[in-house]
Amino acid sequence: MKLLIPPPSTTPLSAILPSEPLLLMGAGPVPIPQAVAQANGVIINHLGPTMDRVIRNVKTLASYAFQTRSDKIIGLAGPASAAMEMAVSNLCWPGRKVLCLRNGTFSGRLGEMASGVGADVTHIESPPGRPVDLATVREAFERRSYDVITMAHGETSCGVKTVETPEICRFAKSAGALTIVDTVVTLTAMPVQMDEWGIDVGVTGGQKALSSIPGVSLCAFSADAWLAVEQHPGPRPHWCYDALRAQRFWGGQQYHYTAPVPGILALHEALRLVADETLERRFRRHEMSSLALQSGLEAMGLSLFASKDVRLNSVLGISLPPRVDGTRVREHMTKFFRVEISGAFGLDIVRIGQMGEQCRSHNLFKTLYALGMSVAREGVKLDIAAGMAALEQGLAGDHEYFVD
């Protein structure tokens, strides 16, 4: 036998990965706790009593994270975008009127997905740096009614929070519309109260605020949303992301597709750590960490992109001084400080994540120093010492929040 393709020369992963791992301080993925990493290395049968117990726990823990009594919590193999796709494709179909609140990449993606399944989509645009507000949503409903409203609670691309998410969701309930809310960067980083606010589908991924691995995500459906799922006239556009089929596994321990076992075990551990920390303490840690970093950045002489009233604490957009090349700054941070932060899609900003394990004091000092030194190297006058002092002051006295 003669094989067409000879074996390629190989390189072990250890020769590809950097000898010292980069500290991931961008908009995701984020560093993961040891327990999550270990769980991700375990494989068990995807069906049977052990997995049943894991799934039951994941649902209980996720209902705490989402603050919902709904038992329609469904995990899926796929990125957060797949969970967005599950939410959209089960609630939207041809003839459904969808209002997409768009102020950046991810909130816009929900609208693209709704168009993709043939829904009648109207966009409300907000300039980058601002969220869509309740008054604008009300005006849209005065002109026409909608079946579904989509929005991102935290818009990662520009570091903006839809601050009126609770009000918009409550209004939607009163107007008979369902809400799909992307909580990828906010769930467990700041309050998200699914039942209190009347969110109909909450969506999150693993690799952002939950500090788990990418590729396993969650969708939580309210009772109203589930009615719509059941009323989908068909044909159902997705097989894997069909919530009814997925519920066979997540509600009935039956085979749908082979579940991403290690990723679900990792998610179990990430959610367990959230419950052990408690949401109150976790919110406080995130808030304190982000505010301290913000004051450090400003004291150094840098400015934040989003204004304070709508700033997303879990992903900070930083405007660089004129003529400073963001790509060069980030490259220098990686090469000399082993810290990685994000650029942005189109906007002239760099972004620092404040999600999960990123909100630890040692990570903050390293990141702020690395950014300050790398910007100063571009010829900008920064007061790095003042920045570090402001960070230290922001964290002072509360270190117990930063111990894991």
Ligand X SMILES: *Cc1c(COP(=O)(O)O)cnc(C)c1O
Query: Residue 343 interacts with ligand X (CB under 6 A)?
Result: no
Report the residue number, 194 or 395, with the smaller CB distance to ligand X.
Answer: 194
Q: Does 358 bind ligand X (CB under 6 A)?
A: no
Binding window for ligand X (CB under 6 A); candidates: 5-13, 74-82, 231-239, 345-353: 74-82
373 exposed, middle or buried (CB, 10 Å; 0-12, 13-18, 19+)?
middle
383 touches 324 (CB < 8 A) = no
* By the rule CB under 6 A, 154 interacts with ligand X: yes
**Binding region for ligand X (CB under 6 A) out of 78-86, 333-341, 382-390, 391-399:** 78-86
Q: Kindly list the distances between the CA atom of residue 202 and the CA atoms of 333, 370, 380, in Å, as whole numbers in the listed order.
A: 35, 35, 43
Separation CA 5–CA 67 (nearest Å): 54
The residue within the footprint of ligand X, chosen from 80, 140, 273, 368 (CB under 6 A), is 80
Under the binding rule (CB under 6 A), the answer on residue 251 touching ligand X is: no
Q: Does 311 help bind ligand X (rule: CB under 6 A)?
A: no
Contact flag: residue 324 with ligand X (CB under 6 A) = no
* Choice between 63 and 156, CB closer to ligand X: 156
Q: Find the shortest distance in angstroms from Cβ 29 to ligand X.
A: 8
- Contact between 211 and ligand X by CB under 6 A: the answer reads no
Please identify which residue in 59, 72, 161, 208 interacts with ligand X, judged by CB under 6 A.
208
Smaller CB distance to ligand X: residue 23 or 110?
A: 110
Kindly report the CA angle at 211 between 206 and 360, in degrees rounded to 5?
165
Q: Does 68 bind ligand X (CB under 6 A)?
A: no
In angstroms, what is the minimal distance from the CB of 339 to ligand X?
20
Q: Does 364 bind ligand X (CB under 6 A)?
A: no
Contact pick of 58, 74, 184, 349 for ligand X (by CB under 6 A) = 184
Site string for ligand X, 103-132 (x = CB under 6 A): ---x--------------------------
Q: What values do phi and psi take at 10, rounded to 5?
A: -115, 160
Q: Is 394 in the site for ligand X (CB under 6 A)?
A: no
Q: Which residues pair with 161 in a beta bridge?
A: 154
| 30 forms part of the interface with ligand X (CB under 6 A) | no
Does the footprint of ligand X cover residue 214 (CB under 6 A)? yes
Cβ atoms < 10 Å from Cβ of 378:
16
Residues in contact with ligand X by CB under 6 A are 28, 79-81, 106, 152, 154, 156, 182, 184-185, 205, 208, 214
